[in-house]
Amino acid sequence: MTHSAPLHVPSHADLRAVVRIVGVASALGAPAPGPEAAPAALERHGLLQHLRGLGVAASWQETLAPLTVPPAGAPMRERLDAVGELARRVADHLTALAPEVFPLVIGGDHAIGIGTWRGVATRVAARGALGLIWIDAHLDSHTELSTHSGNIHGMPLAALLDEGDPALTGIDGPRIDPANVAVIGARTWEPEERERLRRLGVQVFDMAEVRERGIAAVFCDALSVVRERTGAFGVSIDLDALDASAFPAVTCPETAGIAPEELCDALLALRGCGDFAALEIVEYLPGLDPGGTCAGWVANIAGAALGPSTYLLRAKEREFGAHNYAPLPVVFRHGRGVWLWDVEGRRYLDMMSAYSAVSFGHANPRLLRALNDQAQRLALTSRAFSNDRLPVLMERLCSLLGYDRVLPVNTGLEAVETALKTARKWGYKVKGIAPDRAEIIACEGNFHGRSITIVGMSSEAQYRDGFGPFPAGFKRIPYGDADALEAAITPDTAAFLVEPVQGEGGILVPPTGYLARCAEICRRHNVLLIADEVQTGLGRTGRLLACDHEGVHPDGLILGKALGGGLLPVSAFLADAPVMDVFRPGDHGSTFGGNPLGAAVALEVLALLDETRPWEHAARLGERLMARFRDARLPCIREVRGRGLLVGIELDPALLRATTAAELLLARGIATKDTHGTVLRFAPPLVITEAELDAAADIVIDTLASATAVPRHEPLHP
């Protein structure tokens, strides 16, 4: 069955739902041929496919070409008339597009902008005047009387502001108010151009200002200029605004320009602008781009500006996805280190690190290099064959953690299921439990995953509701109560499965000595102690393993999340030979488990652990963070608890629910989440700096204080 119904979202959120690309194959205004080939080259290099891959409903409308092309050296009059004729056609074609269409105009030289922006101004006239952001290394504000070069592509902005030859200024359409025009990135011009724009009142943010303040800040100010008392605005990008060392394929390259990736980041702000009416990209020279690198940047620039907004992406997720998650109101696009950026370009400090999976930060260069290098050699064979990465990973894991055997799988849930199967078979084959009688003990408040077997062990009603019947052979005891463990053990008990710190349960740390006592009880009763360190392992709690806080070496160890470096699902179950050797070929397996790609990344994770010892950093910063929260003495905080950089704040729900607090923090650039509506959790990447953590603590404390400081008013009485 296919889902062919249209996505239903409010009209105000249906931003750029239909993009039509209009090519203009013209070099009429340029000093030499070349730009006229840009539309065809960009179409060939996959501009349309890139936009569609982002979720943009884009199509190529048409490509216009000049009806007459004056010969080289033709008089200015002849060339002006040819440019004017093409500009009229461009304006007419844009005006004729359906109202719901968003035009993406691809040039061609910048002279086509005369037609582009007259046509767009006509399209939006019912809403109000048009503002215009002009991103260019040059001011393009000559007239035929002031030009030094004689090239008409140096005249379009002046013509749009009604200065110049009537062939250029006389295109039909509303005039653009110079007070609503902002130029960004200019770094070369003649005095006549700068004086003209100064006289007219155009705001120029030259390259010196861009370097001093940053493109994001300048772009924000430019948006304010073009949206003041206007109904809509457009953005025209002459690619020579980019630094020529990174983007050489332009008609008039200039050094020391805007970095392409920085321009892309700034353009993300356009995704949330309902009054953004059109985009123009010009002056790409395919002849200087044999490998297509610059064409790729053009696609990235267009995609940054035209990609779906947060609202639209969330609407798609709600309509087409199963409703098994209720994510916070943000859509992330990329991450670097401890930071995340959403699709509108806003930055957030990641205080979740994907439930401890991104311990070494987003886009860690060494992990990416390991991933890329291995992906180019071999990614997957299945375990029907051996690969050259997995044996090395197995050896290093066993050597590091002191076990004889490791069984690699993908997700933490799979590793837990592997541990359960191992414990049961060990119970039957080694301990001698009668068939189908083996018991496994777990704890109240546990979270080991969401398979039917695992939720059968859960004490959370929602996790169980509607998923029974559950497998037999599991029982629960209170967490942190070693006496309860001893009382629950019977001759049929095969294993005790426990989290050294309960994460999803609310960042619950058991009493000192609890794990050591449990280990002693299990040894005495010949019961396997299996530690689920999917969240707590590999440095998170201030030791390599959370069990190390009490010197406990469990019989079975479950690892995941951080082992994959935040790039791939890589998990493992480790045990000694007397336990693991109950398996025979065919007893257990996974097509992707132990794949060479995941193994290569995990090997680099282990190398980083060895070199950087991040648990020492986590121990110190975790104590600092908890002290900050405790010292704040906020009335809404009931308790602060945790180990290392796995910290929870339990809130008084009568004063502030943790779900509300998480949304308030998100609005202030802190990405975290609650658990059970009562506890805020903080587990940033282990590479976070002290300064970054202190800044986060300041925001958290201020947010919680502000949220609970609202005066309570008595109701009004008549």
Q: Which residues are tagged catalytic? A: 447, 532, 561
Say how many Å lie between the first and final Cα of the chain, rounded: 61
3-state secondary structure of 126: coil
Structure tokens at 401: 């953690």
Residue the block writes with tokens 């297509």: 292
- In the DSSP assignment, the letter for residue 678 is T
Extract the runs of DSSP E, i.e. beta strands, from 426-511.
Answer: 439-443, 474-477, 493-498
How far apart are the C-alpha atoms of 306 and 302, rounded to whole Å? 6
Structure tokens at 117: 């922006």
Q: For the chain, how many helices (H) and strands (E)?
A: 25, 23
Q: Compute φ and ψ for 619, nearest 5 degrees.
A: -65, -45
- Within 376-411, residue ranges assigned H as helices are 390-401
How far apart are the C-alpha atoms of 426 and 707, rounded to whole Å? 53
The DSSP result for 464-520, as a single string, is HTT-----SSEEEE-TT-HHHHHHH--TTEEEEEE-SSBTTTTSBPPPTTHHHHHHH
Residue the block writes with tokens 């607090």: 661
Structure tokens at 335: 């991450």
- In the DSSP assignment, the letter for residue 694 is H
- Sheet-wide strand order for 203-205: 58-64, 18-24, 101-107, 276-282, 232-238, 130-135, 181-184, 203-205
- Helices 614-632 and 596-612 meet at what angle, rounded to 10? 70
3-state secondary structure of 704: helix
How far apart are the C-alpha atoms of 554 and 175, rounded to whole Å? 76
Extract the runs of DSSP E, i.e. beta strands, from 115-218.
Answer: 130-135, 181-184, 203-205
Structure tokens at 501: 């710190």
How far apart are the C-alpha atoms of 107 and 90, rounded to whole Å? 11
Report CA-CA distances (Å) from 561 to 123, 223, 390, 558: 51, 41, 17, 10
How far apart are the C-alpha atoms of 393 and 701, rounded to whole Å? 42
How far apart are the C-alpha atoms of 27 and 448, rounded to whole Å? 64
How far apart are the C-alpha atoms of 276 and 581, rounded to whole Å? 64
Extract the runs of DSSP E, i.e. beta strands, from 8-57.
Answer: 18-24
Report CA-CA distances (Å) from 145 to 150, 316, 421: 9, 53, 85
